[in-house]
Structure 1
């Protein structure tokens, strides 16, 4: 495919996100990017995304541009929330502003949905953003159809997290200090970086890209405030079994820095509502194995009764009559689309996935 064809394809199916700014009770102002046509909200799956430390909505936009997300993105609407001060090239937050807590950010999300006239969403969050969305779903279960949370932690910051933070110098002159940068890289890509660099061809380039964005796009003073809010997060693990009533998929990589915290969170959840997916040999699920995460996302959504007509990549559908194909996906032409889209409401079981070499 030529560069022009590729650009046209992305523009057609993954339109440039439209920026909105809303007043908010706790955050004072929230920037939100809407990707997709809100006039078709009744015919589309609607996702609400919140990003991790050291990045913003562009991490989700980049994931959506992956070819494996083509059919999902063209049938969906994505509402990307940017945590205060984390947009590209953002100005310093007002000095008199008290940066909101994880809980306070979550409490502003229903107001954003109200202003966009969106009633129900599927939460899609990573790291600190996943923590925010879990709080949102517990407080406003009538606004959340389900949750897909990457590297989510429900506990307060552990001793090691605070220990690492002591070495982060936030005396900023230009860019993010090297100690803070190291903490953020470990937070995103996991603890065993040397081992992972030896086993993943694209790991080094992913880290370099993350470093470049930290240094060139993200305001370090504002980032510091987001990191501090995450490190000061409150523990809500005791509320999970009784309060988290929506279908939830917890996702982690086996080499992720928060893998144990994700396991602990899953143990505290209602097992009839929460599933755990651990992808082997991975630190950063979203950038290292977007294809496997995309397939898990789609499978989860099918269980919710949405995106049921989107094919699962690499999975043959049951065949009927004379329908046939050579190694590809075959749609049952003897079924009507109404019959085909009837959701299978059985619980899905997720197990570890070992990435292909």
Structure 2
């Protein structure tokens, strides 16, 4: 049985501030507001749909929007080899985009399941026939639900810091206590970083704290956070030999799971890995990396994405450098 190896990567300074602010700007993009049954969804299309090629569909985590979550990655030089082959559709969860209006008092924010239901009409409106999803945290959950509900739409998934599970009673009680004693910003920072990382107070910690507190309307952010906190368990099961496809609920597309070894999401990602088809799932554990690998390690993640997309049969001539990968197996959790 093949052993799962950690990928040894060194964390670099984030590309968020100062002269690198341009890394967060949209390039060759067009914004759209699309009406759905659960409200208006703000999306940004980068490039144009390329024939029968899938579109890369991104969905960000709580406390972020598509710019702060993904533009460092998609504006990184090595990622251009991917974007020249695919259009990219960035989704902003309702009320999280730049300059979003504040929701009125009493507004009923969509559940996580409803956020997934908002995506098919958007894809139809923009004539996107299929997607390769890249999601982080809450966004990874939404894209996973989309793949479960509409498997014909999703050709592959890259899931960063995914947690398939609803909060247990202990977690729920701890979350309630935290909400009484800590600010919204502190709770979201704890979602992204471990207590050890927060104590180190690196530049990325300071920058993200300012972004969460200043760039997104707090009323809107609280609603998105609450929706994620009240998510249900997705009940995905690893396929069992001999059972037909209709007997189990699982993902039927290739999946790349990504997590930093210092991320608070490590255990959740390992659990997700144990639930998925080992023949279609790759687990990438980034050493010396925290909760935002797409921000602090865009080059390494771009490389992993190129490998993943090439494995799906796209970009056969893409240039690659050596990156240790391994297929997930039943013993993955114990080897980590």
TM-score (normalizing by structure 1): 0.76
The counterpart of 1:35, out of the listed 20, 25, 46, is 46
Q: Which residues in structure 2 correspond to 1:99-248 (within 5 Å)?
A: 99-158=109-168, 159-160=170-171, 162-168=173-179, 179-193=183-197, 197=200, 204-239=202-237, 241=239, 242-248=249-255
SS in 1 for 2:224: helix
Among 10, 32, 35, the residue aligned to 1:20? 32
Decide whether aligned partners of structure 1 residues 7 and 217 sit closer, same or farther in structure 2, where only a CA change above 3 A counts: closer
Q: Is the 8 A contact 1:191 1:255 kept in 2?
A: no
Residues 162 and 86 (structure 1), Cα distance of their counterparts in 2 relative to 1, 3 Å cut: farther
Quick one: structure 1 residues 272 and 9, their matched pair in 2 at CA, closer, same or farther if it must change by over 3 Å?
closer
Give the Cα–Cα distance (whole angstroms) in 2 for the partners of residues 283 and 9 of structure 1.
20
Counterparts of 1:66 and 1:75 in 2: how far apart (Å)?
A: 15
Whether contact under 8 Å (2:257, 2:281) holds in the other structure is yes
- Structure 1 residues not aligned, in runs of 5+: 1-5, 171-177, 198-202, 316-346, 353-357
The residue number in structure 2 matching 1:48 is 57
- Structure number with greater CO (CA < 8 Å, separation at least 6) is 2
Task: State the distance in 2 between where 1:224 and 1:148 align.
Answer: 26
Task: Give the deviation of 1:292 after TM superposition.
Answer: 1.4
Give the deviation of 1:169 after TM superposition: 5.1
Which stretch shifts more, 150-159 or 90-99? Answer: 90-99
Cα distance between partner residues in 2 of 1:310 and 1:123: 20
Task: Check conservation: 2:261, 2:286, Cα contact below 8 A.
Answer: yes
How far does residue 15 in structure 1 lie from its aligned partner after superposition?
2.4
Q: Measure how far apart 1:37 and its partner are.
A: 2.2
The equivalent position to 1:257 in structure 2, one of 249, 264, 276, is: 264
Q: Retained in 1: the 8 A contact 2:33–2:41?
A: yes
Relative distance call for 1:218 and 1:8 in structure 2 (3 A) is closer
Q: Name the counterpart of 1:93.
A: 103
Cα RMSD of the aligned pairs, angstroms, is 2.8
Change (3 A) 1:152 1:162: farther
Whichever of the two has the greater Rg, that structure is 1
For 1:50 and 1:36, the matched residues in 2 are separated by 17
Look up the SS of the partner of 1:18 in the other structure. strand
Which residue is equivalent to 1:278? Answer: 285
Q: How many Å separate the matches in 2 of 1:160 and 1:251?
A: 23
Change (3 A) 1:179 1:9: closer
**Conservation of the 8 A alpha-carbon contact between 2:24 and 2:71:** no
The counterpart of 1:311, out of the listed 316, 319, 327, is 319
SS at match of 1:283: coil
Query: Aligned-pair distance for 1:50?
Result: 0.4
